[in-house]
Structure 1
């Protein structure tokens, strides 16, 4: 437990710094892509770079998931629906695998971060596929089970009703020595280039962070079964009607607060490209000064959470003392963790994780922002009239259907 905690802290710090670097690369690449016609000879190179950035961002999400700092926003999730959608998506690309599903008649509902659970399931599917190089069968099953204290105590979870998800393959299986290390970070049995050793460690951290447990059973030549247990929720699943994406531009004034010049430069360029007036503040002290001097002229603050001196949380409190109704959006290379949760509970309007690009600056008012703020899926809050658009991305505003843990 202590080893996992120490490595998790290290992994979270690495992921945060790496995401900040990716933000600089992603932002500049995004600005270049906007200026190029699709037929331009450099367009394919730019698209390839953006693909690599997305892969790197996925890797940092796995690091944050292992570090248990990667949970964003918890909502009621229909496990049957999630399993079916993720399996269908996976099956389209892996035709050599036969997928069989057996779903609980009464759909289990859990309170969870959908994107993170998708990550866990896809990691398990990929492991199963790699264990069956000549093809095979993948069995997916859901059921509701009741676990007593004797079963839960070793996992430090509470007894009660759980949604159980089983992922079983007919692959090569694992021996006992491998099973003992299977959830350790950076442990992998795959050849170089086929695995990072983070997939199952990340899955373990994510499920643990959702007050659940994950177990594995395997024998050499007999395949492998992973069982995931998540507490059943009595909440109703909230579904939204998707609409067309539309790039939104504006002219309002945004105060951008960060201690890293690279982040300020690229984010300012992205926002100005969308028509916004941007005032910058290098750190919390400067941000408070800007609000004191011209608070009535500022429509939104984008505030970095982790800064030397006055951190984002303290800066938020000081801003709200001067301008109690000022909309503030937290930004960080970390995902929402305990520190960000605390600021959100004090009334901060939303959270965005780096890196993001200009094409992700689309409105997503599946949430309910204050006043005239429209919300973006994966990018920034845009100061325009809100209008329906698909939810998604990695920016979250307070919502009556959502629950921050």
Structure 2
């Protein structure tokens, strides 16, 4: 139909734009394992019953700057590619890892040395010939039968990852395994000179970061985990709360050790302002930093703009967050 033809044309144009690195991206700080987990159900539907699908997520996750929607497209293309390589069934695995690329491997991958999140998609299919590997990311190049593929899936993968300052490699042993590996740079404090990796905070010029305990009250699990991972990377201890009531309970339990609270404005059960009022009633000196992606009108309705309360906008920029923490730490009267 004309509708299907139009849809295919749109996909074709999107693929070519991605390969040429001219597609519009909206990168945000992202926990890549969360994208993998939330996409798992959809990815599983792409696979027949005779393909075993498994996910292995890094325990030491660090945030990357990526467009989550486009990264889902990358996963879908790689999973589809793996499926098509296993017509008789097999095993498909997605694994995320926190890795350091040294000076030697940086030349191999054409990336600066530093910290990266690696996403490996492997299949136990037919494999790829050495001569085909050289051309695998070229637009319109396909190893599939005529009419079975456009030859744009892997070109799109390559374009999207390169546009987000990453790299993609492929290794294959014919008839045994094929692994597509994606490397995405860890944001801000992650991309350090490999030689200075032992002293992360000094290399970023942040000398005081890493002292004290921060409570993070945030109902969005992706944002909460991103903040925990990032702050712990800089040496902070963190306590997590999933809603307003949990925030008050956690604070009551740990009030003597909490130096700062990152408090989401809109949360279930009790909003940020209600949590703030209850906490400062008992401890007026407690340092609290509100955070929200909502409009000024919503913030006014929650009485965030009535006083000179400390506030940071979402999506959170790491340098701005660390700057605010620095500013509040200097104001702190705690010993």
Q: Which has the higher contact order (CA 8 A, sep 6+)?
A: 1
Does structure 1 residue 219 correspond to structure 2 residue 219?
Answer: no
Does structure 1 residue 102 correspond to structure 2 residue 16?
Answer: no
TM-score (norm. length: structure 2): 0.55
Correspondence for 1:140 among 94, 98, 101: 94
Q: How many residues align?
A: 205
Does structure 1 residue 116 correspond to structure 2 residue 70?
Answer: yes
Equivalence for 2:187: 233
Correspondence for 1:81 among 25, 34, 38: 34
Does structure 1 residue 193 correspond to structure 2 residue 147?
Answer: yes
Q: 1:239 to 1:223 in 2, by over 3 A?
A: farther
Equivalence for 1:54: 7
Correspondence for 2:103 among 122, 132, 149: 149
| C-alpha separation in 2, matches of 1:84 and 1:50 | 32
- 8 Å CA contact retained: 2:62, 2:117: yes
SS of the residue 2:134 aligns to? helix
- 8 Å CA contact retained: 1:147, 1:159: yes
Equivalence for 1:401: 315
Q: Deviations over 1:185-235 (max 9, x none)?
A: 111011122211111111111111111111100021112101111011269
Correspondence for 1:126 among 67, 70, 80: 80
- 8 Å CA contact retained: 1:187, 1:198: yes
The gaps in structure 2 that reach 5 residues or longer are 190-215, 222-291, 298-312, 318-335
TM-score (norm. length: structure 1): 0.46
SS of the residue 1:153 aligns to? helix
| C-alpha separation in 1, matches of 2:107 and 2:172 | 23
Equivalence for 1:267: none
Question: What RMSD in Å do the two structures reach over aligned CA positions?
Answer: 2.8
1:196-275 map, 5 Å: 196-233=150-187
Correspondence for 1:180 among 126, 131, 134: 134
Q: Deviations over 1:321-363 (max 9, x none)?
A: xxxxxxxxxxxxxxxxxxxxxxxxxxxxxxxxxxxxxxxxxxx
Q: 1:240 to 1:63 in 2, by over 3 A?
A: farther
- 8 Å CA contact retained: 2:139, 2:151: yes
| C-alpha separation in 2, matches of 1:172 and 1:191 | 14
- 8 Å CA contact retained: 1:71, 1:113: no
Q: 1:123 to 1:239 in 2, by over 3 A?
A: farther
SS of the residue 1:168 aligns to? strand
- 8 Å CA contact retained: 1:71, 1:116: no
- 8 Å CA contact retained: 2:46, 2:80: no
Q: 1:215 to 1:193 in 2, by over 3 A?
A: same
Equivalence for 2:45: 92
SS of the residue 1:181 aligns to? coil
- 8 Å CA contact retained: 2:161, 2:168: yes
Q: 1:64 to 1:368 in 2, by over 3 A?
A: farther
**Superposed displacement of residue 70, structure 1:** 1.3
